[in-house]
A and B are shown apart, each in its own frame.
Chain A
């Protein structure tokens, strides 16, 4: 099924699902359409990664149900899960490129494996992506001879060669300095504005999730809540989320008002 076929239906439907071996955690429920944007926000990146893998169909869920394009994830075999990566891409946190081939070959590798186009088509797709990446003189280098930011951008660009409907990215800004964060942010924004691929990202960074301007699913293992916009998240009364906002020094309108009228944080 390609994105055109699936526009009318939800790409992913999650109902009270918990990752395998995490029966005590809060169940997650949400629906994600092709091309949609969603941020999974929470204090524990490792836990969010488990939820992300479950939602993307990388791993079967422990309880509840996850349906990808109407298909029950629990009943999928290994080969079906692999095929699905052409529609639902996944980028793990801190995963390196393949060290034995250069940047360009890293981009083309998976697309060639899945036979998504002939060589000329793949080269054209790769060139389109390469134009967006900085440090052009390093594109044909082995990953060990690339800058950190270029390496990170190649990792993000690699699944785009498969033109998935949705791309799951674990903590995309992990370990980046301010300048590199801006560059990765720009690239993510380009992916979204291109309109072919939706983004589902996990993060523990509230400012990033607010700046992303999409739906935000808060999840800390004990509770979860869906917010349709950053403004709605800032109005939230969820105690765990309020603590997170406080810890990351995010000033909400309501807090600003309290501050102006002499109220203090407890």
Chain B
């Protein structure tokens, strides 16, 4: 039986259903995130006390991820950035070369790869952590104490991840460019060190703004989706890996979608 035997109406039906389900998912995710991020507009306890939880999240997602980010950035600096410089410097001007590098490596590759690392490292950990707490009834116990658990757990994680994503992305960009330029200078000519100074001129204020917005959105997505799925775990322990897997896949898909949409702003 081949695909050709499936009636067209059935294909349209399946596509329509999948689209509606996806839109409904995005709507629920947006509502969940909005309710958590706008708590400061409401009344009651728990507002503005989560500073230490935000710091904890930054340490876990940001500082603890530095070794991984460093290794990947150095490797990519050696393999991708240095090669780009060596290949392109003979066919284009220095200014254009730096423009290409800043647009592809700094503004595209660095946020995307950082988001992947954070999704795999922190997003999965958050989904498992919250999922286990939910499954064991720990969250229910805190609700009995009058705590707004989505607010208590989600807000610091989202803020911590947004900040970590932005800082790690900047760090990643710096490492990849410095290593690439230094390595290309080592292989080719010491004159290549000039690229380090030209690079700063090739990134405009608007690019910088997009870079910040993009990273903040990626951090928001990673944190919100991981928490959303963590809180979706019910009474069965088998739901924890299921929700974690869904969280990671959905995060990656939405990160790519947002990245694609950001091109429209250029």
Which residues of A are at the interface with B, using a C-beta cutoff of 8 A?
Answer: 58, 79, 81-86, 89-92, 94-100, 109-110, 112-115, 155, 158-159, 162
Q: Is B45 an interface residue (CB 8 A)?
A: yes
Instruction: Give the top 4 A-B pairs by smallest Cβ distance, nearest first.
Output: A85-B146, A110-B145, A95-B141, A82-B146
Closest residue to B52 on the A side, CB-wise?
A112
Q: Is B71 an interface residue (CB 8 A)?
A: no
Q: Is B145's CB under 8 angstroms from A83's CB?
A: no
Q: Is A82's CB under 8 angstroms from B144's CB?
A: no
With contacts A85-B144, A91-B144, A98-B133 known, is A79 near B43, CB below 8 A?
A: yes
With contacts A94-B137, A95-B140 known, is A86 near B49, CB below 8 A?
A: no
Closest residue to A168 on the B side, CB-wise?
B144
Q: Is A90's CB under 8 angstroms from B148's CB?
A: no
Q: How far is the CA of A158 from the CA of B138 in the complex (A)?
A: 13
Q: Is B204 an interface residue (CB 8 A)?
A: no
Q: Is B146's CB under 8 angstroms from A110's CB?
A: yes
Q: How far is the CA of A120 from the CA of B49 in the complex (A)?
A: 16
27 inter-chain pairs at a CB distance below 8 angstroms, sorted by A residue, are: A79-B42, A81-B146, A82-B45, A82-B143, A82-B146, A82-B147, A82-B148, A83-B45, A85-B146, A89-B145, A91-B144, A92-B144, A95-B141, A96-B138, A96-B141, A97-B138, A97-B141, A98-B138, A98-B141, A98-B142, A110-B145, A113-B147, A114-B45, A114-B46, A158-B141, A159-B144, A159-B145
Q: Is B46's CB under 8 angstroms from A95's CB?
A: no
**Contact pick for A110, options B133, B137, B140, B142, CB 8 Å:** B142
Hey, which chain A residues are within 8 Å of B44, CB to CB?
79, 82-83
Q: Is B141's CB under 8 angstroms from A86's CB?
A: no
Q: Is A113's CB under 8 angstroms from B45's CB?
A: yes
Closest residue to B139 on the A side, CB-wise?
A98
Q: How far is the CA of A89 from the CA of B145 in the complex (A)?
A: 7
Hey, which chain B residues are within 8 Å of A58, CB to CB?
144
Q: How far is the CA of A94 from the CA of B235 in the complex (A)?
A: 14
Q: How far is the CA of A85 from the CA of B149 in the complex (A)?
A: 14
Hey, which chain A residues are within 8 Å of B133, CB to CB?
98-100
**Known interface pairs A79-B44, A109-B147; 10 further A-B residue pairs with C-beta atoms within 8 A, sorted by A's residue number:** A79-B148, A82-B143, A89-B145, A92-B141, A92-B144, A95-B144, A96-B138, A97-B138, A113-B145, A115-B49
Hey, which chain B residues are within 8 Å of A85, CB to CB?
144-146
Q: How far is the CA of A94 from the CA of B43 in the complex (A)?
A: 31
Q: Is B137's CB under 8 angstroms from A96's CB?
A: yes
Hey, which chain B residues are within 8 Å of A114, CB to CB?
45-46, 146
Hey, which chain A residues are within 8 Å of B141, CB to CB?
92, 95-98, 155, 158
Q: Is A99's CB under 8 angstroms from B144's CB?
A: no
Q: Is B28 an interface residue (CB 8 A)?
A: no
With contacts A83-B44, A85-B145, A162-B145 known, is A92 near B140, CB below 8 A?
A: yes
List B162-196 residues whose CB lies under 8 Å from chain A. none
Mark each residue of chain B from 117 to 152: 1 if its CB lies under 8 Å from any CB of chain A, else 0: 000000000000100110011101111111110001
Hey, which chain B residues are within 8 Å of A95, CB to CB?
137-138, 140-141, 144
Q: How far is the CA of A79 from the CA of B35 in the complex (A)?
A: 13
Q: How far is the CA of A82 from the CA of B46 in the complex (A)?
A: 11
Q: Is B146's CB under 8 angstroms from A83's CB?
A: yes
**Contact pick for A115, options B45, B140, B144, CB 8 Å:** B45
Hey, which chain B residues are within 8 Å of A79, CB to CB?
42-44, 148
List B10-49 residues whose CB lies under 8 Å from chain A. 42-46, 49
Hey, which chain B residues are within 8 Å of A82, CB to CB?
44-45, 143, 146-148
Hey, which chain A residues are within 8 Å of B145, CB to CB?
85, 89, 109-110, 113, 158-159, 162
Closest residue to B56 on the A side, CB-wise?
A100
Q: How far is the CA of A162 from the CA of B144 in the complex (A)?
A: 12
Hey, which chain A residues are within 8 Å of B49, CB to CB?
112-113, 115
Hey, which chain B residues are within 8 Å of A83, CB to CB?
44-45, 146
Q: How far is the CA of A99 from the CA of B153 in the complex (A)?
A: 14
Q: How far is the CA of A65 from the CA of B44 in the complex (A)?
A: 26
